[in-house]
A and B are shown apart, each in its own frame.
Chain A
Amino acid sequence: MMTENRSVAGAPEKQVTVIINGKKYLAGEGEILLGVAVREKIPIPHLCYESSLDPYGACRLCMVSVAKHGRQEMTTSCTLRATEGLELVTDTPEIVKHRNILFELYLAEAPKSEIIKAMAARYGVTKTRFLKKIDTTDSLGNKCVLCGLCVRACNEIMGAGAIGFVNRGPYTVVNTPYAEPTKDCYGCAACAKVCPTNAVEFEDRGSERVMTSWSGTKVPLARCDCCGGYYAPKALAISTLAHITPSLREEIAALCPVCRGKRIARDEILAGTGGAGHHG
C-alpha cells in the first residue's frame, strides 16, 4: 500500500518547490498536492479526501490544471504528487465550467445537505438543472454523496468492515450487508466523524448506541463503575484498553474518562507526591 506521505515510510523527506497559481510553495517530495493546498489554505473544493487514507479520487471536485508535455492537463489534486517545479493552476475557465456542473450534480444528489449547498454557493452555484433525488426512506437523509469516506474509515482504519457499498451505478448506497443490523460494528462512529456532509447519524440511548443510518445497528455501551454513566462502546473500550502500554491500573480501567481523571487526581493528592505521578 502506498502511504500518504512518503516521509512516513522512513526515508528522509526531500523538500521540493511547487508552483500553485503562480506562487511558490515548499512541499515534501511525493506529497499529495491537495494536502499542500489544504495546509497553505489555497481553496480547492473536495469531499472524498482524508489525509490518513490512500488517494481515492472519487468526488472529482479537486480538479486542477497541470502543465504536462507542454500542454495543460486536468487532473485531480488528491491523486497528484509533488515533484520539483510542478506547476498547477486551480481555477482555469475549463475547471470552473466542469466543476460547476459537478456541483449541480451534487445539489441534485444530496438535496438536503446544507454543507453541499454552502460549498456550491461559495463557487457561485446555487441552483441545479438536474432532477433532485428525494428518497423519504433514505437513512442518510438525502445528504450522502457516496464519497466513500465512511466505508474506507470503517474498513481501512478501524478494520471493522461493518458497512460497504451496495448495488452499483446510480443505485449505489452505503449500508450494512443485506441492510440488516450488523455485529461487525464497533459503534466507534468514525463513519460519522469523517462524513463531509454530516449524513451519518447515531444516537446513544441508555445502555446502547444506535447507528440509525446503518440499519439500526445497536452497540452496547460500557458503563462507568463510579458514576454509572455510559461512556464508550463496550467492545471498543475493551479492545482499546487491551492495546495500550503501559496498561491502565486495574482500579481505574472500568471508569469513564471523567471519573478516571478525578480518581487519579485524588490519588495523587492523597499520596502527597505533588505531581510525581502514577503511570495512568
Chain B
Amino acid sequence: MKIRTEADLISVRQAGLQKLQPGKPRIAVGLATCGIAVGGNRVYERLREIIGKEGLDITLVKTGCIGYCKEEPLVNITLPGNPLVILHKVTEADAEEIIKQVRKGKVPAKKAQCRVPAWDHVTGCTIEYGKGFPKIPLYEKVPFFKGQKKVILRNAGLINPEDIDEYIAVGGYAAAHRALTGMGPDAILSEVEKSGLRGRGGAGFPTGQKWRITRDEKADKKYIICNADEGDPGAYMNRNEMESDPHMLIEGMIIGAYAMGAEDGLIYIRAEYPLAIERLKIAIAQAREYGILGKDIFGTGFSFDIGIAKGAGAFVCGESTALVASIEGRTGRPHPRPPRLTDIGGGLFGYPTDLNNVETWCNVPVIITNGSGWYAKIGSKGNTGTKVFSLVGKVDRVGLVEVPLGTTLGTIVSEIGNGGANNKRVKAVQTGGPSGGCIPARLFDTPVDYESLNKAGSIMGSGGIVVMDEDTDMVDIARYFINFATGESCGKCVPCREGLKHTLLLLNRIMAKKGTKKDLETLALLSDTIVATSLCGLGQTAPNPVLTTLAYFKEEYDALVKP
C-alpha cells in the first residue's frame, strides 16, 4: 500500500495504535545493543518460549531503549486499561513470574520500576494507558527521569523500531506529509531557521543556514548525508536514536531533502553499529513499501531515496571532507576547506552536499509538527532545543539523558546522575570526547550550551559526558584521550601526526615519574602548536584534554615530575 493522502496516513495510524494497545497484554523488551549486551535477548527468547508453549494471547515485541542503562535489561508491560509499567533489571529467570503475573492481570511488583499512565509522544499524540497500580511509582517521580525532557527520545523504548506502523501511530511521518503536501521548501527552510536548531555533531553550526546554502547552490544534482560515524569513546546517543527510532531520522532526512532539492540521501554509519544498520535497512524498506521513500513520495512527484554507506572504523571519517572521501572509496583523509561540502566541487562526487549529524536530522520532524515557536522555547537563547547526552563513567546512574540545552552540568551529573558511583566524590567531567576537555566540579554551574562549554575549555561535541571521581588520575585521563587521538589521526598533517605522538610520549614519561618541569612546558607549547596549526578539527581539538587538565589539575602533573 502507498500512502498518499492524510486519510491513508490516519488509517495506518489506527492500525499502529492497535499494535501499541492491542486490547490484550503487550510485553516489550528493550533490545537496543545495550539491552542485548546485558542479556535482553535471553529474556526475550525465554518469554517467547513460555508464551509459545502455553499458547498465550500475549503480544511480545522488541523495543529500543528508554535510556536508563544502569537498570537494564528493561521490559515494559501494557495491560489493557492499566498504566504501562517499566520493569528493571530483568533476567530470564524472571520470565516465568512475569508471565504468571500478566495472566492474572498484574505485574511483578518487585521488578516494577515505574508506571506511565499516559505518554506524550510530543508530535501531537498522547497515548492514554490507564490508571491503576497506584503503589508503583510514577515515571516522573523517578529521579533519573524527573529532570529530563524527552523530545528526541520521545518514542525510544516504547515503540517497536522494526515496525513503521507504530511510528506512524505516534504521529510519525505526519510532519513529512505536511511538509511535502502543504509547505513549500521555503516555508520549511524558514521554520528550521527560526527554530534556532544548531548542528548536533558538535560544532553547532546553524542547521537552517547550512540547508539554505545547499539549496541555493546551483547544480543538477545534490546530496544529503547523515553523519552516523559516532566515534567518541563513551558516546552512544546516535546509536540509540537509530536503534530505537530509525524512522525519526528517515523522516528528518525526507523533509530536509525536499527543502534542499536533493533526491539522494546517504547514511554514513560506522560498521561497528550492526544493529543500527539492520534496523535502518528494515525501516528504509518499510518506508519504500508505503511510498514514503522512492519515486513520487505521497503522490507529490517528489522523489527521494536513502542508501547506507558503511564506515570502516576510522574516527577521522566523522570529519566532513574525510567522510566524503571515504564514501567515494578514497582514503579517509581530510582536505583543506574551502571547497566546503556545500560548494560545487566540494561535496560527494563533486556535487553540493549537506551533511548533518543523526540527532540534527532527528530534530526536524518535531520542528515541523509543533512549529519553530514551540521549539525555540525549549532550551536557552541561541541554544534552543534539547540535547541527548550519554552520561557514563564513574557516575551512579549511567544512562542516556535528554535535557534542554542550558541545563547545568551539576543538574545532569548530581541530580539526574545522582553524583559519583559508590558514594565517591565527583572530581570532573569530560565533555565532547577526545576533542573536549575536562571540566572540574567547581565549574559545575556551567550551563551545557555551545558557548559556555567552549569558555570552560571544552566543547559540546556530540554529547558524551564522562564522569571522573576522586580516584581518577587526571594525567592518565589526558593520556587516555591522547592515545586515542594519536591512533585515530589520519597522518596527513605533521602537528597532528607527529605532535600528538610526542604528546603521548611526554605523557608516558610523566606518568612513569621520569618527567621534569621542562617536559610540562614542552607539553603545553606543543599542545598550543597542534591546536593552532592542524589541518582539521581532529588535530585542532585533540590537545584539549591536556590543556584543560593542565589548567584545572596542574597539581596532579606537578606531583609526578621532578623539578
Contacts and interface: CB of A to CB of B under 8 A. Distances in A.
B15 interface: no
A58 B505 contact: no
A263 to B, nearest CB: 46
Which of B331, B487, B499, B500 has the most chain A CB atoms inside 10 A of its CB? B499
Contacts of B490: 168-169, 172
Contacts of A60: 493-495, 533-535
Contacts of A145: 494
B494 A129 contact: no
A146 B497 contact: yes
Contacts of A58: 492-494, 535
Given A2-B345, A79-B336, A171 B491 contact: yes
B376 interface: no
B494 A106 contact: yes
A167 interface: yes
A242 B496 CA distance: 44
B492 A105 contact: no
Contacts, number: 95
B497 A169 contact: yes
Contacts of B533: 60, 63, 74, 98, 102
Contacts of A79: 336
A169 B494 contact: no
B288 interface: no
Given A55-B336, A164-B331, A105 B489 contact: no
Contact of B494 (A94, A109, A165): A109
B60 interface: no
B454 interface: no
Interface stretch (B273-281, B428-436, B524-532): B524-532
A1 B491 CA distance: 23
Nearest to A164: B331
A170 B336 contact: no
A35 interface: no
B345 A167 contact: no
Given A74-B533, A165-B331, A169-B487, A59 B500 contact: no
Nearest to A130: B502
Contacts of A131: 502, 505
A111 to B, nearest CB: 12
Which of A1, A94, A105, A171 has the most chain B CB atoms inside 10 A of its CB? A105
B486 interface: yes
B529 A102 contact: yes
Which of B493, B494, B499, B534 has the most chain A CB atoms inside 10 A of its CB? B494
Contacts of B339: 2
A120 interface: no
Contact of A101 (B486, B497, B505, B525): B525
Contact of B486 (A63, A97, A169): A169
B486 A170 contact: yes
B71 interface: no
B512 to A, nearest CB: 14
A76 interface: yes
A55 B532 CA distance: 19
A231 interface: no
A92 to B, nearest CB: 12
B295 interface: no
A124 B493 CA distance: 22
A167 B525 contact: no
B349 to A, nearest CB: 12
B336 A172 contact: no
Nearest to A59: B494
B491 A172 contact: yes
A169 B505 contact: no
Contact of A98 (B333, B336, B529): B529
B106 interface: no
A164 B501 CA distance: 22
B494 A105 contact: yes
Interface in B316-335: 316, 331, 333, 335
Interface in A143-173: 145-146, 148, 164-165, 167-172
A129 B522 contact: yes
A57 B488 contact: no
A158 B488 CA distance: 30
Contacts of A57: 335-336, 493, 535
B345 A1 contact: yes
Contacts of B345: 1-2
B362 to A, nearest CB: 31
A97 B495 CA distance: 13
Nearest to B509: A131
A216 to B, nearest CB: 24
Contacts of A202: none
B336 A105 contact: no
Contacts of A170: 486, 489, 491, 497-498, 500-501
Which of B314, B316, B333, B336 has the most chain A CB atoms inside 10 A of its CB? B336
Given A60-B533, A74-B533, A131-B502, A168 B494 contact: no
Contacts of B532: 74, 94, 98
A269 to B, nearest CB: 54
Interface string B68-95: 0000000000000000000000000000
Contacts of A172: 490-491, 497
B30 to A, nearest CB: 36
A171 B500 CA distance: 12
A148 B535 CA distance: 14
B334 to A, nearest CB: 9
Interface string B480-523: 00000011111111110111111001000000000000000010
Contacts of B486: 169-170
A56 B335 contact: yes
A57 B522 CA distance: 25
Contacts of B487: 169
A56 B334 CA distance: 10
Interface of B: 314, 316, 331, 333, 335-336, 339, 345, 486-495, 497-502, 505, 522, 525-526, 528-529, 532-535
8 contacts: A60-B493, A101-B526, A105-B499, A108-B502, A146-B492, A169-B491, A169-B497, A170-B500
Given A60-B534, A101-B529, A169-B487, 16 more contacts: A2-B339, A56-B335, A56-B336, A57-B336, A57-B535, A59-B493, A60-B495, A60-B535, A63-B533, A74-B533, A98-B529, A98-B532, A101-B525, A102-B533, A164-B331, A168-B490
